[in-house]
Amino acid sequence: MEESRPEDAALGFPPCQRMGRGSQAREACPLEGEGAAVGGLLLLALTGHPKRRRGGEHGSDNDDPAGEGAAKRQREAPPDPRASPSGRLALDYVVPCMNFYGICVKDSFLGEVLGARILAEVEGLHRSGKFRDGQLVSQRAVAPRSIRGDQIAWVEGWEPGCRAIGDLMANVDRLMLQCAGKLGTYDIRGRTKAMVACYPGNGRGYLRHVDNPHGDGRCVTCIYYLNRHWDSKVHGGILQIYPEGRSVVANIEPIFDRLLIFWSDRRNPHEVKPAYATRYAITIWYFDAKERAEARGRHQQAQKKGAEPSPEGAQENGPT
């Protein structure tokens, strides 16, 4: 089942310059209490904050009442990336966790208030019939519902009724920007739209697959879960990841306000076990600039030759 994966909204992804702008969300993601045991994988645990620089976020400038020193430092030194909770989350947790495990889980990512607004919007989209059956690029001979049982909607984040989803996107963008240059050797400068997905709870899931098996440009998968009171023993719906070359399985419960990040390529085959209650998640894929440009080049060549679009090519167009 490695060939099956969702189509992305490749041509709709916002340019890198837009990443991180327009967030209405407050600062979130405190590091205290971090450390998640996910199946057999014990993810990196962080308990302390790094030492704050004098004159930083909470530094004292009492010996410089005019603040001239601080202003000068600001002109001269680049801002401390660890000055904000999200900067610390990025550099002290996400980066080491991804580079070591290739999978990273952050609970309580946005907090109760914004999480609830996002859930309300997703429920609204569902009620108003905005979801369509999830699509597969290949495996057309197989009845898709037996492979992939979700329904999806693509969202840019500015649409009416999607502003909180836009805040989520801005928060994840900011996190990715704060990881910039440190996630493997990737050069992340763009992403897909957000794919809002609903498994209706009829016992369907998504068979084992790899998101990006053929180099379509996607390097990092970020999934934000929205399900309160999720009990996997009753509701199923666990995401199982089988990291390549390791004899462990990561069992990820799709719980409310959890952010999951993993490499999109063949290092992380995964499957959604059958879900017996409505299960909501929002996925954003981030692109490596070079791999993306190469994939687009291949697609354009194929189009010029009038060839049947390859599965990768079809992905370039995306459903939106």
Where on the chain is the footprint of ligand OGA (CB under 6 A)?
A: 5-6, 197, 206, 211, 223, 239, 254, 270, 272, 281, 283
Q: Which is nearer to ligand OGA, 20 or 201 (CB)?
A: 201
Buried b or exposed e, range 106-120, using 16+ CB within 10 angstroms = bbbbbeeebbbbbbe
Query: What's the min distance (Å) between Cβ of 6 and ligand OGA?
Result: 5
| Strand duo 218-225 + 279-288: pairing | antiparallel
**Separation between Cα atoms, residue 188 and residue 285, nearest integer Å:** 10
Q: Which is nearer to ligand OGA, 260 or 295 (CB)?
A: 260
Please answer whether residues 206 and 284 qualify as being in contact, where contact means their C-beta atoms are separated by less than 8 angstroms.
no
Query: What's the min distance (Å) between Cβ of 239 and ligand OGA?
Result: 4
Among the listed residues 121, 211, 257, 288, the single contact to Mn ion using CB under 5 A: 211
Query: What's the min distance (Å) between Cβ of 5 and ligand OGA?
Result: 6
**Separation between Cα atoms, residue 160 and residue 169, nearest integer Å:** 15
User: Which region among 50-58, 62-70, 123-131, 207-215 touches Mn ion (by CB under 5 A)?
Assistant: 207-215
Q: Which is nearer to ligand OGA, 205 or 313 (CB)?
A: 205
Query: What's the min distance (Å) between Cβ of 221 and Mn ion?
Result: 7
SS3 content of the chain, % helix, strand, coil (to 5): 30, 20, 50
**Separation between Cα atoms, residue 292 and residue 218, nearest integer Å:** 7
Kindly state whether residue 8 participates in binding Mn ion, applying the rule CB under 5 A: no
Q: Which is nearer to ligand OGA, 25 or 197 (CB)?
A: 197
**Separation between Cα atoms, residue 236 and residue 275, nearest integer Å:** 5
Residue 162 binds which entry of Mn ion, ligand OGA, none, CB below 5-8 Å type-dependent = none
| Strand duo 194-199 + 239-241: pairing | unpaired
Neighbours of 301 (CB within 10 A): 11
Size of the site for Mn ion (CB under 5 A): 1
User: Which region among 25-33, 81-89, 186-194, 204-212 touches Mn ion (by CB under 5 A)?
Assistant: 204-212
Please answer whether residues 162 and 121 qualify as being in contact, where contact means their C-beta atoms are separated by less than 8 angstroms.
yes
Query: What's the min distance (Å) between Cβ of 148 and ligand OGA?
Result: 8
Query: What's the min distance (Å) between Cβ of 33 and ligand OGA?
Result: 23
Contact positions toward Mn ion, by CB under 5 A? 211
